[in-house]
Chains A and B, each alone.
Chain A
Amino acid sequence: MLKGIGASQGYGIGRAVIIDDTPLDYSGVRYTTPDGEKARLDRAVEDFTKETAQQIAALKDSAGEKEALILEGHLTMLQDPFMLSQMKENIDGGSVAEAAADAVCNMFIDMFSGVEDEMMRQRASDIKDIRDSLLKLLLGVNSVAIEKVPAGSILVAKDFTPSMTSRINKENVAAIVTEIGGVTSHSAILARAMEIPAALSVPDATRVIRDGDELVVDGFKGEVFPTPDESLKADYAARQEKYLKDKAALAAFFDKPAKTKSGVVKQVYGNIGKAQDVENVLQNGGEGIGLFRTEFLFMDRDTAPTEEEQFEAYAAVARAMGEREVIIRTLDIGGDKAIDYLSIEKEENPFLGHRAIRYCLDHEELFKTQLRALLRAAACGNVKIMLPLVTTVDEIRAAKALLAVCRAELEKEGKPFKDAPVGVMIETPSAALISDLMAKEAAFFSIGTNDLTGYTMAVDRGNAKVKGLYDVFQPSVLRAIEMTIKNAGAAGIPVGMCGEAAADPRLIPSLVEWGLDEFSVTPTSILQTKKNICDCE
Chain B
Amino acid sequence: MVSKDFTIVNKQGLHMRPVQDFVKAMMKYSSEITIKFNGKDVNGKSIMLIMAACIKYGAQITVVCNGADEEAMLAEAAAMIESGFGED
Contacts and interface: CB of A to CB of B under 8 A. Distances in A.
Interface of A: 73, 76-77, 79-83, 108, 111-112, 115-117, 119-120, 123, 127, 302-303, 306, 308-309, 312
The 4 closest A-B pairs by CB, nearest first: A82-B46, A111-B52, A80-B47, A115-B54
Contact of A120 (B20, B46, B47, B51): B51
A81 B46 contact: yes
B54 A117 contact: yes
B85 to A, nearest CB: 15
B75 interface: no
A82 to B, nearest CB: 3
Given A76-B20, A303-B58, A309-B88, A115 B52 contact: yes
Contact of A80 (B11, B48, B54): B48
Contacts of B43: 82
A306 B47 CA distance: 28
Nearest to A124: B52
B56 interface: yes
B44 to A, nearest CB: 10
Contacts of B11: 306, 308-309
Contacts of B54: 115-117, 120
6 contacts: A81-B45, A112-B52, A115-B52, A117-B54, A123-B52, A309-B88
A83 B48 contact: yes
Contacts of A117: 54, 56
A308 B88 contact: yes
Given A82-B48, A83-B46, A127-B48, 18 more contacts: A76-B16, A76-B20, A77-B48, A79-B47, A80-B46, A80-B47, A81-B23, A81-B27, A81-B45, A82-B49, A83-B48, A108-B52, A111-B52, A112-B52, A117-B54, A119-B15, A308-B88, A312-B88
A119 B20 CA distance: 17
Given A76-B20, A123-B51, A309-B88, A82 B45 contact: yes
Interface in B9-39: 11, 15-16, 20, 23, 27
Contacts of B49: 82, 111
B12 to A, nearest CB: 10
Nearest to B57: A301
Contacts of A306: 11
Contacts of A116: 54
Q: Which of B15, B16, B27, B45 has the most CB of A within 10 A?
A: B16
A302 B48 contact: no
Interface string B42-74: 010111110110101010000000000000000
Nearest to A109: B52
A460 B54 CA distance: 40
A102 to B, nearest CB: 15
Contacts of B15: 119
Nearest to A114: B52
A139 B10 CA distance: 43
A117 B45 CA distance: 22
B17 to A, nearest CB: 9
Contacts of B47: 76-77, 79-80, 82
A241 B54 CA distance: 46
B3 to A, nearest CB: 21
Nearest to B45: A82
B48 A73 contact: no
Q: Which of A73, A115, A120 has the most CB of B within 10 A?
A: A120
Nearest to B58: A302
Given A309-B11, A312-B88, A120 B48 contact: no
Contacts of A308: 11, 88
B15 to A, nearest CB: 8
Contacts of B52: 108, 111-112, 115, 120, 123
Nearest to A127: B48
A443 to B, nearest CB: 30
Nearest to B46: A82
A79 B48 CA distance: 10
